Amino acid sequence: MGGQRNMSVASSSTRAAPTRKRGRAVEPRPIDERLTPAIRQTLEAGLSRLRGRPVRIQELHRQFSMGSSSFPTERLRVALKGERRPLLVFFKDLNPNHQMEKARAVRALDLEPGRRELQMYETILSPERFGTLHLYGYRWEPEHDRFWAFFEDGGRTVLHNYLDMPRWTAAARWAARFHAATRGLPDTQTRFLPRYDKAHYQGCAERVEQLLPHLEGAEHRLVARGLECFVERIEWLSALPPCVLHGQYFGKNILLRRSKRGPKVVVIDWETAALGPGTFDLVSLTAGKWTSDQRDAMRRAYCEQYETVTGRQIDGEAFREELAAVALYQALEWLAWWGPHRTLSRHFGNFLRELATLLEDDFAAGASRTVEVA
């Protein structure tokens, strides 16, 4: 797992104003123009298939994206023959050997996440149904060490940069619709996805156990207590009804587009998609420095939308119990992930605080948080 969380996204303010953007050092990658002919050929073939007619590119302009995080990305401006308006394309190099410097320090050289993202776009995601991006084309050629993906450019407006609740509750409602639509999909459509089953949760417990000898004092006691609570719930977590989940449903992976009906959510970066409890995505969305009222607003939006779509009422007490257990798992999973790399990021400390809050509010002598969800 990788990426960032919403730990410093929100404060008590709900004003519709963007946060101050944090300066982030990204090593610029030079554009290798020798690849342009192959890029042109891949895009022409993909667009021709998508549109059902031959498409020809007259001009192609490439620009490295300074927003690149895990993989190097480019924004392409494509002039098509017979069309006045240029096509804006987002190009992603999924070769793990080409990962950005920080990503190489914490991520394995694994092709599977990139392949999974492409499979999500090919088999489950739908621009018409879910408002997700069009996959224009891709090139998956291990023999040439090329693993490329070309998406519709969704723009640069990221939910992560905003504090106002209407945008965040819109993201919660989108998640509810997506989870409701993907619950019970046939195995033929989802077999490529990893599953949050007993083995998955036990793997998390084992990674946390490996982390414990490297912790001391209060940190050790806190994580050990969290692990004990988690292990007691593995069987229960394994039995939760699965749906397709994003896996890193954080503000940085949610684009916003203008719409007459309000903010339109566009979810990107599906490398960590899996089959598991949909509350995992809701826990991700609501993690961080939110007030209780703000967090409850997102949870209510999720529940209301899910009930509207499915016609089934959510049991509030069971929902709170599931949220707490899933949040406990997620905090431990991220602690195990960032533990060996804690000098590279502040996130380890953030997850320790998240775990401490959970244990105090939701697992103290069997107490449960009182949250209105419907």
Cβ-contact 301, 204 below 8 angstroms? no
pLDDT given for residue 365 in this prediction:
52
Supply the DSSP string of 135-161, one letter for each residue: EEEEEEEGGGTEEEEEEE---S-BGGG
How distant, in Å, are the alpha carbons of 201, 237, 250, 286, 298 from that of 328? 11, 11, 17, 13, 19
Tokens of 54: 């031959």
- C-alpha atoms less than 13 angstroms from C-alpha of 218 in its C-beta half-sphere: 5
Q: Identify the DSSP state of 19.
A: P
In DSSP notation, 247-278 reads S---GGGEEEE--TTSPEEEE---TT-EEE-T
User: In Å, what is the CA distance from 288 to each residue of 12, 88, 283?
Assistant: 12, 33, 10
For residues 37 and 118, give the distance between their C-alpha atoms in angstroms, rounded to a whole number: 22
Residue type, 236: W
- Tokens 């400390």: give the residue: 349
Given this model, what pLDDT does residue 13 score? 35
User: CB of 324 within 8 A of CB of 279?
Assistant: no
pLDDT score of 3: 36
Ordered per-residue pLDDT tens for the chain, 374 residues: 433 334 433 333 333 344 434 445 567 788 999 999 999 999 999 999 999 999 999 999 999 998 888 899 999 999 999 999 999 999 999 999 998 887 777 777 889 999 999 999 999 999 999 999 999 999 999 999 999 999 999 999 999 999 899 999 999 999 999 999 999 899 999 999 999 999 999 999 999 999 999 999 999 999 999 999 999 999 999 999 999 999 999 999 999 998 777 779 999 999 999 999 999 999 999 998 899 999 999 999 999 999 999 999 999 999 999 999 999 999 999 999 999 888 887 889 999 999 999 999 888 754 343 333 33
In DSSP notation, 195-206 reads B-SHHHHHHHHH
